[in-house]
Amino acid sequence: MTRLGRIFVKLYGSGCVLFKDWSFEFLCNPSVENCVFVRYSASGQTPLKGENYALKNKSLSQDDVINDYMKEIGDFFEKCSEEWLDHLTKTRDKFYPLNFFTTAQIIILQEEIAKYRNGIDVYRELYPLLSTVKADCSKSNLDFAIQKLEESLNLEPNHDEPEMALPTKESFELNFLAEADKAGISREKALKCIAVGMFDPDDLEKSNTI
């Protein structure tokens, strides 16, 4: 439990707020069906549940089950911590002004600017903090920066949209046969055009010269 708490504090202290609303509940009652509950939101969403597999395996004690879950969760958070610190280092290299802030200050910035974008009153020291990189930073400066950010995000290509597949030779041939049928051209003659490569689904008259 001490290890899990230490890793959790380290992860949050390094600026990763993704897990700030997470909570864990471990039940030592050997008769319960689920002995671990992981709540990842303060909004009352259904928690993740860990099965009490000591009920099926009598060779295991309840302590064994709880300890196994703690180790797995701890390993997960350690991996998250390593990946987050690596991401933070690369981000500082990419956006040099971040190096003017401590990790604790970056946490304040990301939380308060997110609140501001959602119309929530912000931390009163936000503007003096931003004045580190923008002299006498004001509300209008922040509005301008957020507007530019949103414009740049809107201009970025959406890589989630599937690319349109290029038409294949087979699709051209099938389209040509369909158009030939509509135009009253015999299937034999249409297939002959395809065989010698003289077909154009958009110009049947040109293709109907054989």
pLDDT of residue 51 exceeding 80: yes
Note whether 10 and 88 are same-domain residues: yes
Cα 5–Cα 11–Cα 12 angle in degrees, nearest 5: 90
Give whole-number Cα distances, 30 to 4, 21, 62, in Å. 22, 28, 6
The answer to whether residue 160 sits within a structural domain is: no
Q: Let me know if residue 161 belongs to a domain.
A: no
208: confidence class by pLDDT, cuts 50, 70, 90: very low
Q: What is the pLDDT of residues 9-25, one digit of tens each?
A: 888 778 777 777 788 88
Give the domain extent around 200: 169-207
Q: Are residue 140 and residue 200 in the same domain, yes or no?
A: no
Residue-wise pLDDT tens digits, 73-82: 888 888 888 8
Residues 6+ apart with CB under 8 A from 163: none
What pTM does this model have? 0.55
Q: How many domains does the chain have?
A: 3
Confidence label for 107 from pLDDT (cuts 50, 70 and 90) = confident
